[in-house]
Chains A and B, each alone.
Chain A
Amino acid sequence: MNASVNPPKLYDCRDAFASTLERLAAENDTIVAVCNDSVGSSKLGGFKAKFGERLVNVGIAEQNMVGVAAGLANGGRLPFVCAAAPFLTGRSLEQIKADISYSNANVKLVGISSGMAYGELGPTHHSIEDFAWTRVLPNLPVIAPCDRIETAAAVAWAATYDGPCFLRLSRVGVPDLLPEGHRFELGKANLLRQGSDVTLIANGTLTHRIVKAAEILAGRGINARVLNLATVRPIDEEAIIAAARETGAIVTAEEHSIFGGLGSAVAEVVVDNAPVPMKRLGVPGIYAPTGSAEFLLDEFGMAPSAIADAAQALIKRK
């Protein structure tokens, strides 16, 4: 099969988020959407048309947005806060800490256009610190789905989960990876490919890239395990420890700084339980040049072929 002749269809996970939220809102009248003038970018147009009263738009005021969501939850509403990830997390980090995480408010934080999605808009609009900022907070699951199926499943899960969470979504198209009907399970990795030579771990927009990298490695005679690790906190220690023990080397790839993100979280488990060589791919602690998300991910060494090369080099250190 030649992939370039018949490329897989790509989906914007925001569509899956919005359609799932609308479906849930029709069943549960406590669901409200809270946003910061982000109706369009959060794809809340349909929600607004159907449930106009339940769209709480606070304007361009992210600190107030998160506080208002905590109050809505106190009053028995089920808020989904939808805003661009860099401003939702960075601008209102203390509100997320005190009003949501520490208060354990039943608020679902949905960071849209995370990572390098706003590539050309520059580093102020890149959200490559949000894993680091959110995963240190108690009571706050941190989740980055890899495709539209996992996005829909995670949103449905969030609506029934009694507590806060942070869903990290992109706007960059990704192919389907998980089977239709997939159910999201908090803190559980999905084994996408069995392998014994090295383990590739990613989430969000990077998962389909590590799947391709594993295919490239297979062509080189290297048998790579592939884990989709949507939940960064609480992390699937069991799957990570098994990967370390059974494959002896781990490569992580993420649309995030290599400091404090998925790779760091995996490394913490590895170093505490089963130390093996690791390579963390991501944004290497710099502000990015101008370019699209896809361009920048390639630029930072996360083209599938580059991920395969990194894995191959790592295996030599076993």
Chain B
Amino acid sequence: MDTIELERIAREIRLRDLQAVFEAGAGHIGGEMSVIDILTALYFRVLKIWPDQPKHPDRDRFVLSKGHTACALYVTLAKRGFIPEEEVSTFLQPHSRLNGHPNCNKVPGVETNTGPLGHGLPVAVGMAKAAKLSGAKFHTYVVTGDGEMQEGSNWEAIMAAAQFKLDNLTLVIDHNRFQQGAALAETNDLAPLRPKLEAFDWEVTEINGNVMSEVVPALEHRGAKPHCIVAHTNKGHGISFMQDRVDWHHKVPNKEQYEIALAELSEAL
């Protein structure tokens, strides 16, 4: 699938995500908008997956460690055929399998339960190590938030990935510069991320994570070391009044804001 087509799908996913969050009255729309280009590139171009066989042993593994942006993952999984598209409207409803954080035992295509931060990368290291042990060819991808990198467990996993020489592991840090309560810079500023990862013997690529022509080649890159993509993104990307505003971490648009956002995303289609 070419870049233009991927960009179109990403805009459709943004639109459906906005609607789902508005209808559910909850969600993490800011971080969803920032990560959607990465999810789109993964599911519609990069990942080797079989939606009708979600547990196929040769499938590439993907872990959404920033699990609070589950809605964006559900919309993507639905669009890719893992779950019915109409099911997205059940997001957060009683007994829906689409709860606020992804569940691997309920939702096909989800590999491990996430929600508490700092869990996904260690599990992804285990997946990549499993492939090394068995000789399997699958590649493992994990997406974390930049604020999430404040969790010490991530740095334990970063050390292990280098020690285990996991050239079959790609970490994408969704570097939108904001966490729940404030800017990263005002909380525990990890930036710049590149030298820290390089010091742990990872290969690092920096991209604009909201530009598809940069996202795809970075995800498809293969080297001799574990690979970290520092994806510079915008929280609330694509919706003018949300962009780079910390209060849109989990704020829900009112009717007027929803109409504006709807118009902006639809126009882009």
Contact = CB atoms under 8 A, between A and B. Distances in A.
A71 B122 contact: yes
B156 A72 contact: no
Interface in A91-108: 94-95, 98-99, 102-105
A83 B188 CA distance: 31
Given A63-B153, A64-B160, A76 B57 contact: yes
B134 A77 contact: yes
Given A72-B126, A98-B115, A98-B119, A67 B133 contact: no
B266 interface: no
Interface in A205-233: none
B112 interface: yes
Interface residues of A, number: 31
Given A71-B123, A99-B113, A104-B105, A64 B130 contact: no
A240 B56 CA distance: 44
A71 B127 contact: yes
Contacts of B125: 64, 67-68, 71
B14 interface: no
Contacts of A98: 113-116, 119
B119 A99 contact: yes
Contacts of A67: 119, 121-123, 125-126, 153, 157
B64 to A, nearest CB: 13
Interface in B171-224: none
Contacts of A94: 116, 119
Which of B111, B126, B131 has the most chain A CB within a 10 Å cutoff?
B126
B157 A64 contact: yes
A68 B136 contact: no
Could you tell me the dominant secondary structure of chain B's interface residues? helix
Interface string B100-130: 0001110000011111101101111111111
Contacts of B94: none
A58 interface: yes
Contacts, number: 116
A69 interface: yes
A76 B55 CA distance: 11
B130 A74 contact: yes
A26 B186 CA distance: 53
B130 A75 contact: yes
Contact of B127 (A32, A54, A56, A75): A75
Contacts of B127: 71-72, 74-75
Nearest to A107: B126
Interface of A: 30, 32, 53-54, 56, 58-59, 61, 63-64, 66-77, 79, 94-95, 98-99, 102-105
Interface of B: 57, 61, 103-105, 111-116, 118-119, 121-131, 133-134, 136, 138, 140, 152-153, 156-157, 159-160, 163-164
21 contacts: A56-B129, A59-B163, A63-B156, A64-B157, A68-B123, A68-B125, A68-B129, A71-B125, A71-B128, A72-B126, A72-B127, A73-B126, A74-B127, A75-B130, A75-B133, A77-B133, A94-B119, A98-B114, A98-B116, A103-B104, A105-B112
The 3 closest A-B pairs by CB, nearest first: A71-B126, A75-B130, A67-B122
